């Protein structure tokens, strides 16, 4: 488009130019017009070709095509999805991502995928625009050079997701890394901050606009500009709020205050690596809480302010703010808490086990992750289960607990949790470390079948596939035999209590001549193989039926 100023300038030149120049200029204008016209014609013809040759065309019914789009653009479960706060580059002591990993969320399809689908043909565009679920999750890594386009994309998602609400995750960890001219001189820090604020303004404007905030279901901000915190009060009460900063972030600012007056009706709160926040008053609306890499004293303060918690995750708490620890050891009663996860910092021996100080009469699930063989940490684990509620049905153990806990203490732990139905056992380094756990269970079933975990239904093993693949066959065989022994003992002790073993990995099960004989001999002591229930990723494996058949034949021969 030619502006009025340009037109005036051109007409002035033409009025004073020689006649031959004027005719040339007029001819050029005609040529420009023809070029523009041909471009429009070309676009129309290309669109016709697209419509004719588009994959699938109109052969697929709209409902089938919509299902395909939904499969390609799945919704994210933000409460399960990891909320990572490490720096993405290798320059600050954080492992480098690798040359092939140019984005922070390589497991997700790109946010532009629905747009790409819509550009294939007008038919596809109609289906895309009438499928709001593919527009209901937006995960974006914000960069300075893409901030404007991402602001437009955010607006598009907010418009297309209706009547659904939008779950948003915006990752700002790389903002500022692109601006080398500012980072070379520390005196330019103020200019850098102002530059970033100006660059990110379109994103903030789209996100916090009055007509948009009510359409948001989840708001996850990783390392956002601190100035944005004052805008969060515009978020609707039902939003799930997740805030995180990188551990190296320097925040010379006043603490973030989270209170019912600022965030009315807030139900879900997730804070990562932010040492300066407080909840000055009781916050009865919060029912889901996730605190990661925050001072342990602040954790106690927050727990005391959230009496109606139902789900709580406490991970990698720090002990930097030691002034908070002493007055916070008073036990906290959370009468509605039913799901609790506790992760001790790697090889940390100073952070107190917060769950020990939480009284939870309605707890149904506990995950305890501790990579530490410190005797004090083991005693804290035992102490927690000494007053574990009878309502607890699921226990998830990860790390060194099983390896380091004495067998008698482990036996007492499971005896006290007599209503357990599901046990999750996670070991990412050496699956053979779980053998003491299996042996304790077998001993408990044989010695006290009526009181030792009579309700136990499933044991889920969570291993690393690479570790499993690297094991030699004799070690795998020994592990399988231990599992078969456990099932047989449980069956003989209490035939009315079946037990399922489920693995998240694929094993190379033994074949004829590869140890199958030993497995069959152990297993054939049970009644014709009726007890064996071993699964991989929830699905029965053909090997089980093979062993049952062989065991029955072996029993007949004997």
**The predicted structure's pLDDT at residue 391:** 85
CB-based contact 453:497 (threshold 8 Å): no
> What average pLDDT does range 260-270 have in this prediction?
78
**The predicted structure's pLDDT at residue 155:** 93
Q: Which of 72-76, 182-186, 554-558 has the lowest mean pLDDT?
A: 182-186
pLDDT tops 80 at residue 154: yes
Q: Which of 113-127, 250-264, 332-346 has the lowest mean pLDDT?
A: 250-264
CB-based contact 289:267 (threshold 8 Å): no
> What average pLDDT does range 11-24 have in this prediction?
65
Smallest CA-to-CA distance from 236 within 298, 306, 168 is with 168
Q: Which of 3-7, 76-80, 281-285, 344-348 has the lowest mean pLDDT?
A: 3-7
Smallest CA-to-CA distance from 133 within 78, 185, 181, 67 is with 67
For residue range 18-71, list pLDDT tens digits in order. Answer: 677 788 888 888 899 889 888 888 877 776 666 666 555 567 888 999 999 998
Burial class (CB in 10 A: 0-12, 13-18, 19+), 5: exposed
**The predicted structure's pLDDT at residue 334:** 92
- Cis amide leading into 163 (omega within 30): yes
Element containing residue 222 per DSSP (H, E)? strand 216-222
**The predicted structure's pLDDT at residue 356:** 87
* Sole residue written with tokens 């399960």: 80
> What average pLDDT does range 365-381 have in this prediction?
77
Q: What does pTM read for this prediction? A: 0.71
CB-based contact 501:537 (threshold 8 Å): no
Parallel, antiparallel or unpaired: strands 534-536 and 539-540 = antiparallel
> What average pLDDT does range 279-297 have in this prediction?
85
Find all residues with CB under 8 Å of 311, minimum gap 6, and list them: 287, 288, 289, 337, 338, 339, 340
Find all residues with CB under 8 Å of 314, minimum gap 6, and list them: 291, 299, 340, 341, 342, 343, 354, 355
Q: 106 or 329: whose pLDDT is higher?
A: 329
CA–CA gap between residue 78 and residue 76 (Å, rounded):
6
Q: Which of 26-30, 165-169, 248-252, 508-512 has the lowest mean pLDDT?
A: 248-252
For residue range 104-121, list pLDDT tens digits in order. Answer: 444 455 788 999 898 888
> What average pLDDT does range 275-304 have in this prediction?
84
Q: Which residues of 194-214 are buried (b: 16+ CB within 10 A; e: fewer)?
A: ebbeebbebbbebbbeeebbe
374 pLDDT band (50/70/90 cuts)? low
Strands (E), 327-421: 332-333, 339-343, 358-359, 365-370, 394-399
**The predicted structure's pLDDT at residue 131:** 95
CB-based contact 248:226 (threshold 8 Å): no
For residue range 431-457, list pLDDT tens digits in order. Answer: 777 887 888 888 888 887 777 888 888
pLDDT tops 60 at residue 88: no
Average pLDDT value for the chain: 77
Q: 11 or 37: whose pLDDT is higher?
A: 37
Residue 221: strand pairing partners: 170, 243
CA distance from start to end of the chain: 94
Smallest CA-to-CA distance from 311 within 362, 236, 242 is with 362
Smallest CA-to-CA distance from 11 within 25, 28, 1 is with 25
Residue 289: strand pairing partners: 269, 312
The rounded percent of the chain whose pLDDT value lies above 70 is 75
pLDDT tops 70 at residue 157: yes
DSSP count for the chain of H helices, then E strands = 18, 19
* Sole residue written with tokens 């601006």: 179
CA–CA gap between residue 332 and residue 289 (Å, rounded):
15
Burial class (CB in 10 A: 0-12, 13-18, 19+), 334: buried
Give start and end residues of each alpha helix (H) in 214-285: none
pLDDT tops 90 at residue 337: yes
CB-based contact 104:173 (threshold 8 Å): yes
Q: Quote the Cα angle for 298-300-283, to 5°.
A: 90
5 pLDDT band (50/70/90 cuts)? very low
pLDDT tops 60 at residue 274: yes
CB-based contact 235:216 (threshold 8 Å): yes
> What average pLDDT does range 241-251 have in this prediction?
63
pLDDT tops 70 at residue 349: no
pLDDT tops 50 at residue 289: yes
The DSSP 8-state label assigned to residue 318 in this structure reads: B
The rounded percent of the chain whose pLDDT value lies above 90 is 12
Q: How far is CA 98 from the centre of its chain?
A: 21
Grouping H, G, I as helix, E, B as strand and the rest as coil, residue 311 is strand
For residue range 204-223, list pLDDT tens digits in order. Answer: 888 888 888 888 888 888 87
For residue range 410-437, list pLDDT tens digits in order. Answer: 777 777 777 889 999 888 777 777 887 8
**The predicted structure's pLDDT at residue 93:** 32
Grouping H, G, I as helix, E, B as strand and the rest as coil, residue 168 is strand
pLDDT tops 70 at residue 229: yes
Burial class (CB in 10 A: 0-12, 13-18, 19+), 432: middle
For residue range 509-529, list pLDDT tens digits in order. Answer: 887 667 777 788 777 766 655
> What average pLDDT does range 113-134 have in this prediction?
90
Tokens of 219: 């708001």
pLDDT tops 90 at residue 128: yes
């Amino acid at each position: 488009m030619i502006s009025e100023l340009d037109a005036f300038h051109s007409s002035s030149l033409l009025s004073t130019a020689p006649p031959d120049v004027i005719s040339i200029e007029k001819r050029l204008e005609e040529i420009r017009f023809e070029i523009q016209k041909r471009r429009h014609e070309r676009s129309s013809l290309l669109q016709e070709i697209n419509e004719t040759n588009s994959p699938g065309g109109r052969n697929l019914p709209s409902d089938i095509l919509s299902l395909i789009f939904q499969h390609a653009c799945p919704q994210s479960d933000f409460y399960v999805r990891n909320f990572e706060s490490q720096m993405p580059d290798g320059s600050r002591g954080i492992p480098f991502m690798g040359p092939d990993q140019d984005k922070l969320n390589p497991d997700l399809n790109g946010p532009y995928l629905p747009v790409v689908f819509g550009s294939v043909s007008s038919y596809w565009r109609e289906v895309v625009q009438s499928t709001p679920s593919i527009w209901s999750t937006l995960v974006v890594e914000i960069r300075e050079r893409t901030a404007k386009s991402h602001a437009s994309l955010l607006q598009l998602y907010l418009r297309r997701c209706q009547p659904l609400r939008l779950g948003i995750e915006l990752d700002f960890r790389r903002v500022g890394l692109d601006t080398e001219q500012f980072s070379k001189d520390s005196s330019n820090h103020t200019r850098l901050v102002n530059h970033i604020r100006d660059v990110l303004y379109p994103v903030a404007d789209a996100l916090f606009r009055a007509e948009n905030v009510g359409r948001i279901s989840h708001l996850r901000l990783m390392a956002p500009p601190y100035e944005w915190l004052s805008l969060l009060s515009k978020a609707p009460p039902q939003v799930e709020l997740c805030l995180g900063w990188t551990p190296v972030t320097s925040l010379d600012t006043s603490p973030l205050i989270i209170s019912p007056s600022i965030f009315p009706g807030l139900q879900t709160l997730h804070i990562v690596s932010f040492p300066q926040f407080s909840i000055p008053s009781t916050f009865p609306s919060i029912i889901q809480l996730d605190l990661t890499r925050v001072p342990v004293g602040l954790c106690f303060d927050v727990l005391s302010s959230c009496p109606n918690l139902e789900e709580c995750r406490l991970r990698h708490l720090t002990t930097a703010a030691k002034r908070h620890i002493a007055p916070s050891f008073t036990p906290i009663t959370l009468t509605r808490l039913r799901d609790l996860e506790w992760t001790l910092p790697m090889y940390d021996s100073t952070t107190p086990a917060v769950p020990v100080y939480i009284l939870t009469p309605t707890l149904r699930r506990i995950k305890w992750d501790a990579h530490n063989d410190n005797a004090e940490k083991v005693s804290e684990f035992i102490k927690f289960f000494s007053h574990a509620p009878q309502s607890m049905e699921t226990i998830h153990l990860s790390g060194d607990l099983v390896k380091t806990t004495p067998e008698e203490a482990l036996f007492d732990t499971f005896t006290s949790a007599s209503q357990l139905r599901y046990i999750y056992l996670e070991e990412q380094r050496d699956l053979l470390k779980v053998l003491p756990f299996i042996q304790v269970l077998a001993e408990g079933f044989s010695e006290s079948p009526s009181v030792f975990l009579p309700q136990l239904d499933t044991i889920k093993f969570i291993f690393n596939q690479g570790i499993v693949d690297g094991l030699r066959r004799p070690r795998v065989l020994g592990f399988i035999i231990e599992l078969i022994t456990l099932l047989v003992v449980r069956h003989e002790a209490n035939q009315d209590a079946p037990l399922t073993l489920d693995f998240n990995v694929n094993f190379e099960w033994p074949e004829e001549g590869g140890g199958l004989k030993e497995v069959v001999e152990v297993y054939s002591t049970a009644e014709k193989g009726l007890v064996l229930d071993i699964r991989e990723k929830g699905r029965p494996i053909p090997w089980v039926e093979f062993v049952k058949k062989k065991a029955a034949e072996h029993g007949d021969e004997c």
